[in-house]
Amino acid sequence: MMGSSDVDLEGVRPSAPLPEPCLSYWQRTTRAFPHLNRNHNAPLPSRKRYVIVGSGLSGALSAFELTENGVQGEDIIILEAREAASGASSRNAGHVRPDAFRGFKRYSSLHGQDQALKVIANERLVLDRIGEFVRKHHIECDFNLTTTFDVCLTAEFAAYEAETFMSFKNAGGDVSHVNFFEGEEARKRTGVNKTVAAYEWPAASIHPARLTHWLLDTVINRGVSLFTHCPVSKVERSPAVDEKEWQVRTPRGTVTTPTVIHCTNAYASLLLPSLNSYLAPNRAQAHSLVASNTFSGSKTLTNTLSLRYSLNHFYSLIQCPGDGTLILGVSRTNPTLSAETLRGIVTFDDGGYNEDVFTDVLKQWNVLFPGEDANRDNLDHAWTGIIGVTDDSIPFVGPLENLDGQWICAGFGGHGMARIFNCAPGVVKLILGSDWSDTALPECFQLTTRRVAKMQSLHNTTDRNNYILV
Ligand SMILES: Cc1cc2nc3c(=O)[nH]c(=O)nc-3n(C[C@H](O)[C@H](O)[C@H](O)COP(=O)(O)OP(=O)(O)OC[C@H]3O[C@@H](n4cnc5c(N)ncnc54)[C@H](O)[C@@H]3O)c2cc1C
């Protein structure tokens, strides 16, 4: 496992998204989205009531929720550094996979048992909420509600899962939706012959770019302006006498506003430098494979899988219901990777994929699915994206203290699809005057002075990268 000494966290300076990123499978299959480069050279308005920075799932859903709750679309602008939704929301591994119990120990140690229970319960609600949303609006985004398996590939990891499951259950955590299998039954159910034990619970897979594009298209039709290729370089107090407004600066001009919503995920510390110590950019990699006979027709996967050797060494697998493409995600800190690859994960560079990770994936595919013989021919594509890892494994949500009128919804690690659908609506509720208790979010998601102090004390003692979800 990688320790913090292996990574020069301080060596990576806050950055805007870098130009010329690679394209993911999801982006390659949505190049005709009409708003991809919207307003890329139109003049920027000088004033807006609401400025959202970032057009990923957080930004798009925040705009949607504002308009759902009575704000005029014409009062909202979304500023996006690259093409529409070009960050992690269009680069992920397609899993909407709530944690059912595994994170309990980690969250309990950092945030207390009560909050840990809430963090996990919140993710289950997100799955329901996305499902309802997609059904209600008939969104074509390959949403596939199914079950997922946490596949324990070693006895050690099976023991870790068993212990965590019991501590979660004993603390009052709801496990009524979790099935457990071991030995031959586990191997039969998962289809993976190295399986020692497996836990199964409801989850989904999705075409994440299509969901985000649907949201952007909808809010644009409601009057929201989306300005792509418009990186925000600074947010400063307006020099006006009462200093109640903010100036959002971009190379294309400045927008003055009373309300800024930071939906910039891994990049948040460029505009909020005080977050730099607690939010690390990590490059994650995923792969698409053309389904061979073993995964085609009636043998198409009906569940999703998280194939786990240990907490930090795993592979995630979904199969798209549309074209049957398999999407294989990889944990970032696999012990099989070279020291150079491990050092390279703390970066903003999503311009290509890593060959070492790619080789590991090919090797593991043949170990986990013997007879499948994965090679460069059936491995269709590989890509990377940047995730924002917070020091205490939970996102930053809500008002920014001492920056009246600025809000944040960011820091989702490798797990935003299981969180954003409650966090973005929660931030919007707060902006429109509700109390935290109306958001139904765990209180620990707030970015309070107390939380910052706690992260500060953790900073030198824990490994930022030591807890990876999905
Ligand atoms: C390879 C990979 C696999 C993953 N797999 C999964 C998974 O299976 N399940 C899951 O739940 N999560 C997964 N994730 C994580 C998930 O994708 C993210 O948590 C989620 O998409 C975050 O959404 P967001 O809108 O907050 O951020 P993003 O989608 O990153 O959006 C932020 C946007 O802000 C823009 N931006 C940033 N700074 C500026 C600026 N200064 N000015 C203007 N615009 C700016 C960026 O260009 C970007 O479009 C994965 C991520 C990756 C990279």
Per-residue pLDDT of the chain (470 residues; tens, 9 = 90+): 233 333 445 568 999 999 999 999 999 999 999 999 999 999 999 999 999 999 999 999 999 999 999 999 999 999 999 999 999 999 999 999 999 999 999 999 999 999 999 999 999 999 999 999 999 999 999 999 999 999 999 999 999 999 999 999 999 999 999 999 999 999 999 999 999 999 999 999 999 999 999 999 999 999 999 999 999 999 999 987 677 899 999 999 999 999 999 999 999 999 999 999 999 999 999 999 999 888 999 999 999 999 999 998 999 999 999 899 999 999 988 888 888 998 889 999 999 999 999 999 988 988 898 876 666 677 899 999 999 999 999 999 999 999 999 999 999 999 999 999 999 999 999 999 999 999 999 999 999 999 998 998 887 665 554 444 44
Cα torsion 425, 427, 433, 434: sign: positive
**The pLDDT value given to residue 378:** 78
Domain with CATH 3.50.50.60 in the chain: 4-91+209-279+392-459
- C-alpha 262 – ligand 1 centre gap (Å): 12
367 C-alpha to ligand 1 centroid (Å): 30
CA dist 95 and 418 (Å) reads 8
- Contacts of 74 by beta carbon, 8 Å cutoff, 6+ apart: 223, 224, 225
Specify the 3-state DSSP secondary structure of 233: coil
Residue bearing the CA closest to ligand 1, atom 3: 92
Which residues touch 469 (CB under 8 Å, ≥6 apart)? 99, 102, 103, 393, 413, 414, 415, 418
Indicate the fold that domain 145-206+281-389 takes in CATH: D-Amino Acid Oxidase; Chain A, domain 2 (3.30.9)
> Phi and psi for 155 in degrees, rounded to 5?
-65, -35
Please give the distance, rounded to the nearest whole angstrom, from the Cα atom of residue 105 to the centre of ligand 1.
26
How does DSSP classify residue 47? B
Nearest Cα residue to atom 22 of ligand 1: 416
Report angle CA 465, 98, 215 to the nearest 5 degrees. Answer: 100
Q: Residue of the nearest CA to atom 35 in ligand 1?
A: 54
Pocket mutation for ligand 1, best pick of 148, 230, 265 (most atoms within 8 Å of C-beta): 265
Instruction: For ligand 1, say whether the CB of 17 is within 6 Å of any of its atoms.
Output: yes
Quick one: 4-91+209-279+392-459 is in which CATH superfamily?
Answer: FAD/NAD(P)-binding domain (3.50.50.60)
Q: Which amino acid is at 188?
A: K
State the span(s) of the chain assigned CATH 3.30.9.10: 145-206+281-389
Residue whose CA lies nearest to ligand 1 atom number 20: 416
